[in-house]
Amino acid sequence: MQAMMEPIFDVAYLILVITIGVLMVLRSHGNRQFQLFGWMAVVLGSGDAFHLVPRILALCTTGMEQYTVPLGIGKWVTSITMTMFYVMLYHVWRQRYQISGQKGMTATVYGLAILRIVLCMMPQNQWLCADAPLSWGIYRNIPFLLLGLLVIVLFYRSAAKHQDRAFRWMWLTIVLSFAFYIPVALWSDAIPTVGMLMIPKTCAYVWSVLIGYFAMKQECP
């Protein structure tokens, strides 16, 4: 069942997210917030494709064991693009709520993102091995989790303050995405079935993208 349903879900997700991203870029009428949101969706879908395409091929052919290297490369690329996603989402927050200054906040966001990327680049991660060390999975996800928590707080406070109904659940989509992502990042290599949590995690990201898309439809008719 997994070999049939998961590839269908993954393909639908990639097509949907990238298509919405492109539409937002093209139809935002020069609105920088929604242009950036569109590019953010494209980065999300394109980065995830590096991991999901090998996973689809593995499920449809000889199994995960034969795709250790491409899956490892895909995880590495996705780790970088997901970091970029949250940096871009931070800038969407600044654009939407007309935030100026706060250089310390911006420095914190970029500092956590750079630290995350540097940790992802370290050879100790052993991305191309089937039994990658759990310790480095924890190290590289600490700054990523802190970055996500910061963005959650920013959207939660700003949406409530401005009574922004369009973005009122953005914080929750990020909470859900991390809730499903962390177990996968830490234990999917040892317990492959944990990887199924990527499906609800992916749904949370689709929700995030749809929030931006419907806001654009409402605000940039």
Q: How far apart (Å, rounded) are the C-alpha atoms in residues 134 and 15? A: 32
Residue 71, pLDDT > 80, answer yes
pLDDT of res. 171: 96
61 three-class SS: coil
pLDDT of res. 190: 66
Residue 88, pLDDT > 90, answer yes
Residue 29, pLDDT > 60, answer yes
Nearest to 177 by CA among 57, 76, 86, 53: 86
Average of per-residue pLDDT across 101-112: 95
Note the pLDDT tens digit of each residue in 146-159.
999 999 999 999 99
CA distances from 13 to 44, 101, 155, 163, 206 (A): 11, 36, 24, 30, 8
Note the pLDDT tens digit of each residue in 151-199.
999 999 999 999 999 999 999 999 999 999 888 877 766 666 777 788 8
pLDDT of res. 132: 81
Is the full-model pTM beyond 0.85?
Answer: yes
Q: How far apart (Å, rounded) are the C-alpha atoms in residues 25 and 79? A: 24
pLDDT of res. 134: 84
- Can you name the CATH fold of 2-219? Rhopdopsin 7-helix transmembrane proteins (1.20.1070)
Residue 137 confidence class, pLDDT cut points 50, 70, 90? confident
Residue 1, pLDDT > 70, answer no
